[in-house]
């Protein structure tokens, strides 16, 4: 068992350092890139925290939707194949809900402040199951 | 003094009639091309100028028209009444600066968020969408025959191009596949009269002042195609910077854009085509973002590139809202 603090905690600390110290004590391109780097570390921290549960749920949904088994990449490739062939579409029971959940889970990691994501969350809140 | 400083100094003396150049600074804008600001010293006065060149002096984007053609496009657009920066000279091999050109520095705001929300531009915003329509109408009067090297593309070819680019990433994205199905089902026939389109006319590629649009930038993906493509692209979610109820760049209404376009001589706006190009635009920006992964693993292993690659999912949520709302 690896010791503490956790990767998530250390990444958060490095991100704070980049944003609060490096970005504010440098200028121009370097300062800009320090902020970008801080954002990148925050994103990786969210992925470590959120992706395991989100991807397990995604895999369960895909297996049910496709009646097939496999790893996440293989199942997504199969879903793409069937969508492209027209075997599945938005009218397929469960498909739209699956795509929404998967997409929102990705955004929660990649860009939780993106306004389109916030809007989608707000629009979908009343029907959330 | 760096190599770039020296080369710009020599250029200032040899080709711009000046005594030298200084204060060379890289501007952070421009993810696919280098943009530098420097001061031309001429007759003792200092004038800010812009060097636009491909990173390392060579081209990086496969769909780019080439910086020499871009310079010609800017000059022609200026002649048609489009606000553009003055082009002062196109780089030659002897200049030792690679491919690119020198243009005037236009004062104003280019950051999309400040244009959509900033207090300083509050008085300019109400007129911007209509002005953008007028400018697009003028761009669409440019004669494609004068630019024979520009790509000619039908709507179906453009969809295929981005579909191929998506497939080349070899990463499954069900939402994109769904979008490509929709685009194939709704793809309009080629326009009766293809026009020279800017190809990247959006909030972020415009210099805005309190008086309105001061310059249209980034002509690198101009091509000859359906003029409605430009009218759809500026409405894509990604360029609204959080101002959801102002689809045109986060500052105006589609109807204002269309009215300006038609009033300035543009052909009547086909609403269905404009909507098609708006959906196409979200997909296109998505494909551009996910293509950044290959660039990150290849020519440009920067953090910025990695982060842009991870913005692909923003377009997935946008496409879901457009197609499964």
Tell me: pLDDT of B148 over 90.
yes
* Dist CA B134 CA B160 (whole Å): 30
B294-308: per-residue pLDDT in tens?
989 998 899 999 999
Torsion sign over Cα B29, B113, B232, B124 = negative
pLDDT at res. B62: 47
Mean pLDDT of chain B: 93
- CB pair distance less than 8 Å for A77 and B172: yes
A-chain residues near B181 (CB < 8 A): 83-84, 86, 89
Residues 6+ apart with CB under 8 A from B56: B98
- With an 8 Å Cβ cutoff, the interface of chain B facing chain A consists of 25-26, 28, 172-175, 177-178, 180-181, 237, 240-242, 244, 302-304, 306-307, 310-314, 316-318, 320-321, 323-325
User: Using an 8 Å Cβ cutoff, are A100 and B320 in contact?
Assistant: yes
Contacts of A29 in chain B (CB under 8 A): 26, 28
Share the mean pLDDT of chain A: 94
Q: What percent of chain B has pLDDT over 90?
A: 86
Q: What is the pLDDT of residue A128?
A: 45
Backbone φ, ψ for residue B90 (5° rounding): -95, 135
In angstroms and rounded to an integer, the radius of gyration of the C-alpha atoms of chain B is: 20
Residues of chain B contacting residue A85, judged by C-beta atoms under 8 Å apart: none
- Kindly report the backbone phi and psi dihedral angles of residue A33, in degrees, each rounded to the nearest multiple of 5, phi listed first: -70, -30
Residue in the block written with tokens 């969408």: B129
pLDDT of residue B125: 96
The residues, any chain, with a CB within 8 Å of residue A59's CB and separated by 6 or more, are A71, A72, A75
* Residue B223 DSSP code: E
pLDDT over 70 at B121, yes or no: yes
Count of domains forming chain A: 1
Average pLDDT (B100-119) is: 95
Q: Do residues B308 and B290 lie in contact, with contact meaning Cβ atoms separated by under 8 Å?
A: no
Chain A residues with a Cβ under 8 Å from any Cβ in chain B: 28-29, 32-33, 36-37, 39-40, 43, 73, 76-77, 79-80, 83-84, 86, 89-90, 96, 99-100, 102-104, 106-107, 110-111, 114-117, 119-120, 123
Whether residue B71 has pLDDT greater than 90: yes
Within a domain: A1: no
pLDDT at B244 over 90: no
Instruction: Tell me whether residue A17 is in a domain.
Output: yes
Which tens digit of pLDDT belongs to each residue from A26-56? 998 899 999 999 999 999 999 999 999 999 9
- Plot region of B182 (φ>0 → left; ψ -120 to 50 → alpha; else → beta): alpha
Largest CA distance in chain A: 56
pLDDT in tens, B158-195: 999 999 999 999 999 999 999 999 999 999 999 999 99
DSSP assignment of A50-84: HHHHHHHHHHHHHHHHHT----HHHHHHHHHHHHH
pLDDT band at residue B324 under the 50/70/90 scheme:
confident
- The predicted pLDDT at position B65 comes to 81
Contact in structure between B163 and B180 (CB atoms under 8 Å): yes
- Beta carbons within 10 angstroms of residue B244's beta carbon: 13
Residue A33 lies in a domain: yes
Distances (CA, A) of B187 to B18, B156, B305: 53, 6, 31
Q: Is residue A2 part of a domain?
A: no
Evaluate if residue B60 carries a pLDDT over 70: no
Q: How confident is the model at residue B59 (pLDDT cuts 50, 70, 90)?
A: very low
The secondary structure element, H or E, covering residue B48 is: strand B45-53
Residue showing tokens 């409605």? B228
Mean pLDDT of the B303-321 span: 96
Contact (CB, 8 A) for B162 and B286: no
**Domains by residue range for chain B, with CATH:** 3-104 (3.30.200.20), 112-323 (3.90.1200.10)
Residue A75 lies in a domain: yes
Q: A28: which chain B residues are within 8 Å (Cβ-Cβ)?
A: 25-26, 28
* Residue range(s) defining the domain that contains residue A57: 7-127
CA geometry: angle B321, B115, B290, nearest 5 deg: 45
In this predicted structure, the answer to whether residue A94 has a pLDDT above a threshold of 50 is yes
Q: Residue B88 and residue B301: Cα distance in Å, rounded?
A: 33
In a domain, A30, yes or no: yes
Q: Which of A6-10, B34-38, B72-76, B253-257 is least confident? A: B34-38
- d(Cα A50, Cα A101) in Å, to the nearest integer? 13
DSSP E strand boundaries for B72-210 = 87-90, 100-104, 195-197, 206-209
Residue A103 counted as domain residue: yes
> pLDDT (tens digit, 9 = 90+) per residue, B6-42?
999 999 999 999 999 999 998 854 455 788 999 999 9
Give the pTM.
Answer: 0.90
At B66 the pLDDT is 86
Residue A99 forms part of a structural domain: yes
Neighbours of A5 (CB within 10 A): 10
Distances in whole angstroms, Cα of residue A93 to Cα of each of A85, A89, A106, A129, B233: 17, 9, 22, 15, 32
């Amino acid at each position: 068992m690896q010791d503490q603090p956790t990767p998530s905690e250390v990444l958060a600390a490095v991100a704070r350092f980049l944003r609060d110290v490096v970005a504010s004590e440098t200028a121009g391109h370097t300062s800009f890139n320090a902020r970008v780097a801080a954002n990148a570390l925050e994103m990786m921290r969210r992925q470590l925290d959120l992706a395991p549960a989100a991807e397990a749920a995604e895999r369960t949904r895909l297996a049910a939707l496709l009646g097939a088994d496999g790893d996440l990449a293989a199942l997504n490739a199969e879903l793409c194949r069937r969508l492209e062939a027209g075997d599945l579409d938005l009218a397929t029971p469960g498909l739209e809900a699956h795509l929404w959940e998967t997409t929102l889970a990705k955004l929660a990691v990649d860009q939780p402040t993106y306004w389109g994501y916030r809007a989608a969350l707000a629009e979908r809140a009343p029907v959330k199951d | 003094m760096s190599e770039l400083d020296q080369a710009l100094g020599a250029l200032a003396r040899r080709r711009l009639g000046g005594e030298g150049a200084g204060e060379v600074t890289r501007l952070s804008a421009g993810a696919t091309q280098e943009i530098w600001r420097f001061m031309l010293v001429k007759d003792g006065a200092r004038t800010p100028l812009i060097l636009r060149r491909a990173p390392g002096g060579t081209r990086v984007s496969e769909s780019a028209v080439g910086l020499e053609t871009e310079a010609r496009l800017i000059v022609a657009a200026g002649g048609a009444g489009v606000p553009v920066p003055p082009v002062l000279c196109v780089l030659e091999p002897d200049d030792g600066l690679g491919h690119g050109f020198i243009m005037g520095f236009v004062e104003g705001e280019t950051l999309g968020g400040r244009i959509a929300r900033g207090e300083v531009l509050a008085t300019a915003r109400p007129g911007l969408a209509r002005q953008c329509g007028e400018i697009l109408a003028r761009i669409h009067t440019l004669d494609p025959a004068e630019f024979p090297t520009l790509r000619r593309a039908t709507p179906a070819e453009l969809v295929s191009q981005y579909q191929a680019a998506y497939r080349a990433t070899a990463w499954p994205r069900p939402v994109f596949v769904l979008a490509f199905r929709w685009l194939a089902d709704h793809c309009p026939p080629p326009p009766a009269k293809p026009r020279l389109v800017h190809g990247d006319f959006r909030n972020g590629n415009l210099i805005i002042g309190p008086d309105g649009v001061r310059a249209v930038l980034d002509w690198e993906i101009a091509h000859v195609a359906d003029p409605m493509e430009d009218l759809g692209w500026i409405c894509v979610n990604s360029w609204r910077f959080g101002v959801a109820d102002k689809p045109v760049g986060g500052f105006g209404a589609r109807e204002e854009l269309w009215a300006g376009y038609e009033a300035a001589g543009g052909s009547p706006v086909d609403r269905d085509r404009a909507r098609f190009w708006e959906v196409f635009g979200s997909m296109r920006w998505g494909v551009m973002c996910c293509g950044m992964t290959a660039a990150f693993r290849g020519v440009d292993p920067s953090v910025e590139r990695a982060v842009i690659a991870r913005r692909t999912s923003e377009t997935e949520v946008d496409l879901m809202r457009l197609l499964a709302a």
